[in-house]
Structure 1
Amino acid sequence: MTDISADLLAEILDEVREDTSGDLVPHLGDYDHPDPDALALAVCDMDGQVVSAGDADVLFDLQSASKPFVYALALDQKGVDEVAARIGVEPSGEAFNEISLEAGTGRAPNALVNAGALAAHALVGDDDDDEDSRFEQIRALFSRLVGRDVDVDEEIIEIESRRQNRNQALAHLLAEEGSLARDPHEVVAGYGRQCGIRVDTRELARMAAVLANRGREPGGDDQILGHRAVRYANSVMFTCGMYDAAGDWVYQVGLPAKSGVSGCLFAVVPGRLGVAAYSPRLDEHGNSVRAAAAIEALSDRLHLHVLDEVGGYGFDPAA
């Protein structure tokens, strides 16, 4: 069992709680957010033991936090070469929903911007699978990751389905370049449902622990995702997971991570921990203000930066 205590996590939450800066996700219009002040932090170790503090049982949509897992699933199903023909691995230097592709190749720049996430979603399943079958494979993956049958947030999906112009444009641009494996309209609809899958902070920490554990269920024997696929997903998260704040995140926190505009954020401590936090208000990059601050504080306290790793939870670079 991890020696990280709930008291430590609660102490970190108290440190970041008073920061009420940021905005709720802007594209949902007059959606009445049920928990705008929710705040939670959780860790899961390689034995599957979860420690949490705060509002850790509040459900939220995964949104873009779903992207690395579906990318890994596509890598498992299709192999590196077929995925790489459609999705690159370089930071884009642009907004996550920018309507642009990689110069000279017509690929999405990476799997964690929307263009890449659409391309990865389209790669799931066999040639004769329809969108319903493809989504059920994705939902089954997330059910295995959290250990229960997950559902989707139908209200959010319905609202977002009316505001899909940019994703439709991206999907059609990918299709025009030969980088989308399926019908653009079906892919956008299925991707919307993928983003609407709901988990809580404890479950997201467990999902992150799968990526920390080479794709294996923490504390169990289920190989949920392949080792190589997880390595590639973690690599892309390290360089691209926090969008155009990725460089600062690696510099300050030093962990592969991915955010979602619902306010969730998870990070991977390879071989050791999955970490997750939740707080709905977002900064200008679309990352949760308090969730990012909480995980940064945890990384600082325990010296989790991967470039400082020397055994235990790391060493103090100032020592």
Structure 2
Amino acid sequence: MACRTNEDLQRIVNNVFSLTEEGKVADYIPALAKANKSDLSIAIYKSNNECLYAGTYTKKFTLQSISKVLVLAIALQDRGVDYVFDRVGMEPTGDPFNSISKLETSIPSKPLNPMINAGALAVTNMIKGENEAERWDRILQFVRCLGNKKDLTYDEEVAASELETAWLNRSLCYFMKQHKVIEGDIEELMKLYTKQCAIEMNCFDLARIGAVFALNGVDPETGERLLPLEIARICKTFMVTCGMYNASGEFAIKVGIPAKSGVAGGILAVVPEKFGIGIFGPSLDEKGNSIAGIKLLEELAVQYNFSIF
């Protein structure tokens, strides 16, 4: 399906574009440091199968933490709600996404939610499969299905860069293994997790995935159910409460829709029953969210009054 440019969207992009200079790209993952901080684009995939865009919406980027929502959906289907949330909590946290402190102080010692790194690692560990290759194939095929894109893959350079520098995530894994939150080989889990974070797509692909969640798990083109209604609901709830790192509360007040960001600059947003939104803007604020991307959503929320609250 072809997208068409939209003057209103382009005007808002132009209005917020100067903010890209105020942020910085993620450089703690060396491969992400190569991003052009001036990039900014958006696509909106409507429930009636229409797509609008502004900016270079076909430019590819890696999902990073956006992948946490999608892998949570697989784990819930594989293991069930009780199994998943016996090992990972449901509560927001004011701590940074890579914090280890709550693991040390919580009793039982399990991650507070699936959107922080510790929780996401525990969730990825739940994906069924005989080995890392089989689990990876299941994740990739699921994301391809949601995006209706058979050739979707991952950025090998970004995955390798993350794997080489992921010492804190390894620490989280070993801590959780000590407390029986996760099991199995840590390096295999790290390879799987860094690949899922390095899944690559553009704003259009991301917006289409958002449209599936907007329609409660139904494909906007075929009408086929891709996700159980309850799992789509759980994922969207976590996007509201925990999706924008430790800025989720402010985002809920100013924008008021389910959303998940990633440190490569992507934002997946969902306006229930109406449309999915994909944004790319790699210039980040101090909390790891796209600085112009958030402002773009704030402007859209005011103009179109799409807060769910």
TM-score category by the smaller chain?
over 0.9
How many angstroms apart in 2 are the aligned matches of 1:122 and 1:32? 28
Alpha-carbon contact 2:10-2:55 (below 8 Å) kept: yes
Q: Which residue in 2 is equivalent to 1:224?
A: 226
Q: Which residue in 1 is equivalent to 2:25?
A: 24
Q: Which residue in 1 is equivalent to 2:106?
A: 103
Q: What are the equivalent positions in structure 2 for 1:300-319 lying under 5 Å apart?
A: 300-307=302-309
Q: Identify unmatched segments of 5+ residues in structure 1.
A: 308-319
Taking structure 2 as the reference length, the TM-score comes to 0.94
Q: What are the equivalent positions in structure 2 for 1:82-93 lying under 5 Å apart?
A: 82-93=83-94
TM-fit CA distance, 1:34: 4.8
Q: Which residue in 2 is equivalent to 1:180?
A: 182
More off after superposition, 229-238 vs 98-107:
98-107
Q: Secondary structure at the match of 1:162?
A: helix
Taking structure 1 as the reference length, the TM-score comes to 0.91
Q: Secondary structure at the match of 1:286?
A: coil
The answer to whether structure 1 residue 147 and structure 2 residue 128 are counterparts is: no
How many angstroms apart in 2 are the aligned matches of 1:138 and 1:181? 19
The aligned amino acid for 1:276 is G
The answer to whether structure 1 residue 262 and structure 2 residue 279 are counterparts is: no
TM-fit CA distance, 1:30: 7.3
Q: Which residue in 1 is equivalent to 2:6?
A: 6
RMSD: 1.7
The aligned amino acid for 1:104 is I
TM-fit CA distance, 1:32: 5.7
More helix by share: 2
Q: What are the equivalent positions in structure 2 for 1:187-198 lying under 5 Å apart?
A: 187-198=189-200
- The match for 1:160 among 150, 159, 162 is 162
TM-fit CA distance, 1:305: 0.6
TM-fit CA distance, 1:173: 1.1
Q: Which residue in 2 is equivalent to 1:119?
A: 122
Runs of 4+ in 1 over 4 A off after TM superposition: none
Q: Secondary structure at the match of 2:28?
A: helix
Distance 1:113 1:9, change over 3 A: same
The aligned amino acid for 1:6 is N
Q: What are the equivalent positions in structure 2 for 1:9-88 lying under 5 Å apart?
A: 9-19=9-19, 20-29=21-30, 33-88=34-89
How many angstroms apart in 1 are the aligned matches of 2:89 and 2:143? 24
Q: Which residue in 1 is equivalent to 2:216?
A: 214
Alpha-carbon contact 1:275-1:295 (below 8 Å) kept: no
In the alignment of these two chains, the number of paired residues is 303
Alpha-carbon contact 2:240-2:257 (below 8 Å) kept: yes
Q: Deviations over 1:121-179 (max 9, x none)?
A: 111114xx211111110000111111112111111112111111111011111111111
Q: Deviations over 1:4-34 (max 9, x none)?
A: 9711111110110112111110213476625
How many angstroms apart in 1 are the aligned matches of 2:50 and 2:177? 43
More off after superposition, 288-297 vs 28-37:
28-37
